[in-house]
Chains A and B, each alone.
Chain A
Amino acid sequence: MTLTVENLQVADLVRGVSFELGAGERVGLIGESGSGKSLTALSVLGLLPEELSATGSVRLDGRELLGASEKELSRLRGNGMAMVFQEPMTALNPAMRIGRQVTEPFRVHGRRGRPAEELLAAVGLPGVARAYPHQLSGGQRQRVVLAIALANDPALLICDEPTTALDVTVQAQILGLIRERLSAESSLLFITHDLAVVAQMCDRVLVMLDGSIVEHGSTREVLTAPKHSYTQRLLAASDLEGAR
C-alpha cells in the first residue's frame, strides 16, 4: 500500500500539502486546532463537508481518490482504509447492538465474516456484543470503533485524535491496542496534538501550521532536533516540566 498526497488544497485551509505513506509506516500528523490536520485526513477519506472540495491529488496505490465516485470510495472505506475519530459516540449507531455494528464491515463489503465475539475479544471487550453503545464507557466505545476499523484488516488506518477525549489509563490501553492489532504491513496516519503520544506511536512526523506542512522527518529528528521555529515552540509549550 502506498498513499501519495500531492499538492492537496482545500479552500485556503489546506495549502499545498504533499506527503507519501508507505506500507507499514507509522506517521504522525501534528499541529494545533485549525492547522488543517483533520481536513487533510478527511480529504483522503473523501469525507470533506459538502461546502468544501479538495484539489490536487490523493492516490492509494496509484488510484486517484479525489473526485472518485461515492460508490468507489465506500468500497474502500472500512475495507482498504479505515478510520477512528475522536468521539466514539458519534461514530456508533446508538440504536444498533454492538455485535451487529462490529460485523457490519463484512456485510457491507461482502466478505466472509468473523464472529462479533472474536473481534470484540481482540480489543479486550468480551461479552458486550448484545449491549448498546450507551451502555458502554467512553473507552469501551472507542475500542468498539477500533474493532470495526480493524475488522477487514485495512492497509491504511487513519486515527484522528483517537484518545483525546479519554482518561490516561484508557488512552494507554487504546494506544497499546492500535500498536498490537494493526498488522505490520498496514500503515498508520495518526493525528494528535500530543507530542508524547506521537513519540510512542510513530516513526515519522509531519508538522502542520496554517494549512501547510512546515517540517517533516523521523520522529527522532523532529522531536529531538526541531528545525522549524513553530516545532520548537510546540515542543517548549508541551514540556510542562520545565521551570515554572
Chain B
Amino acid sequence: MISVRDLERRYTRRDVHALRGLSFDVSAGERFGIVGESGSGKSTLVRLLAALDRPTAGTVSFQGKRIDSLPERRLRFLRREMQIVFQDPMGSLDPRMRVRDIVSEPLGRRSPERVAELLTAVGLPEDAAMRYPHQFSGGQRQRISIARALAPNPSVLIADEPVSALDVSVRAQILDLLARLVDEFSLTLIFVSHDLGVVRHVCDRVAVMRRGEIVEIGAVEQVYAEPEHEYTRELLAAAPNLRTELARLKGETDA
C-alpha cells in the first residue's frame, strides 16, 4: 500500500536533518504505529507520507505510484484515498461551519444521508449535524474530525496523536472507535503517537523513531516484549505502566 525508500528531509536553512534515510512498507489493512519523542521526525514523516511536503531524497509510493514529486493537481486521488486526523480537533475544525458542512466538505456536495450515516458510524447523534464545533466536548470534536476523514471513503487513515489532547476516559473510547472503524471500513491505519501504551492498544506493527531514524521496527507484541534496541528499552522503562504499578501496590499488600 505504502512504500518508503531511503527517505530524507533536511531543512537547509536551519541545518536540521529531520529524516535520515527511512525505508519501510505498510501493507493494506495493516495498523502501523509510529512512536517517538518530540523532535524524532514523526510529524515530518507524516507530512511526507501525505505528500504535504517533498523529501530532499528518497521516495514515497502509494499503491505502487510515486507521490513524492507529483504536482498538487496530480495528487487529487491521494487527497481522497488518504485522510488525516490531527491532535487538536478545535484547531482542525472551522468554528464557523456547522458539523453538517464540515463532514460533507470533502464530498464536494451536500448529502444529508451520507452525513447522517457518518455521524452514526462515529457514535454522534444525528442532530449533531446542525450544531457548531464549540458546542461539543473534546472527545466529540475528535469524532467529528473522524467522520469528516471517513467521508470520501479513504483507504488510508493517518491519525497524528489523535488522543493526546483528551482525558483518559475519553481516550479509550476514541481508540476503540478508531479500531472498530478500521475493521468496518477496511482501512489501513497509520497511527502516530509519543505514547507507547496507546500504540500498543491499537497497532499490529510499530516503528520506533529517534532523531530522524527508525531504530526498531516489528510486530507490536514482539517489540514490547523483547525490545532489541537500547532506545526502545529506555522508552519502555521510562513510560509509567499502570499494570506494573498496580502489581507493585498489590505486592505491598501481600508482604
A residues touching B (Cβ–Cβ < 8 Å)?
A: 32-33, 137-138, 167-172, 193-197, 199-200, 219-220, 223-224, 233-241, 244
Contact = CB atoms under 8 A, between A and B. Distances in A.
Nearest to B237: A172
B197 A241 contact: yes
B200 A220 contact: no
A218 B110 CA distance: 56
A44 to B, nearest CB: 23
Contacts of B201: 240-241, 244
B202 A244 contact: yes
Given A200-B240, A238-B242, 14 more contacts: A137-B38, A169-B37, A170-B37, A193-B167, A196-B244, A196-B245, A199-B240, A219-B249, A220-B252, A223-B245, A224-B250, A233-B169, A237-B169, A241-B242
Nearest to A240: B201
B198 A196 contact: no
Contact of B37 (A168, A220, A233): A168
Contacts of B173: 237
B238 A168 contact: yes
Nearest to A201: B240
Nearest to A238: B168
Contacts of A32: 167-170
Contacts of B238: 168-169, 171-172
Interface in B189-221: 194-198, 200-202
A168 B239 contact: yes
Contacts, number: 92
A197 B245 CA distance: 9
A220 to B, nearest CB: 5
B28 interface: no
Interface of B: 37-38, 138, 167-173, 175-176, 179, 194-198, 200-202, 234-235, 237-246, 248-250, 252-253
A161 to B, nearest CB: 12
Nearest to A195: B242
B249 A199 contact: yes
B210 to A, nearest CB: 10
A240 B234 contact: no
B240 A169 contact: no
A168 B235 contact: yes
B173 to A, nearest CB: 8
A224 B246 contact: yes
The listed residue with most B CB atoms (<10 A of its CB), out of A137, A233, A237, is A237
B240 A241 contact: no
Nearest to B166: A33
B255 to A, nearest CB: 11
Contact of B172 (A169, A219, A223, A237): A237
B36 to A, nearest CB: 9
A171 B196 CA distance: 14
28 contacts: A32-B169, A137-B38, A168-B196, A169-B37, A170-B37, A171-B238, A172-B238, A193-B168, A194-B168, A195-B168, A195-B245, A196-B241, A199-B249, A200-B245, A220-B249, A220-B250, A223-B246, A223-B249, A224-B250, A236-B172, A237-B168, A237-B171, A237-B173, A238-B242, A240-B200, A241-B201, A241-B242, A244-B201
Contacts of A241: 197, 200-201, 242-243
A71 B203 CA distance: 54
B38 A167 contact: yes
Contacts of B179: 244
Given A200-B240, A241-B201, A244-B201, A220 B253 contact: yes
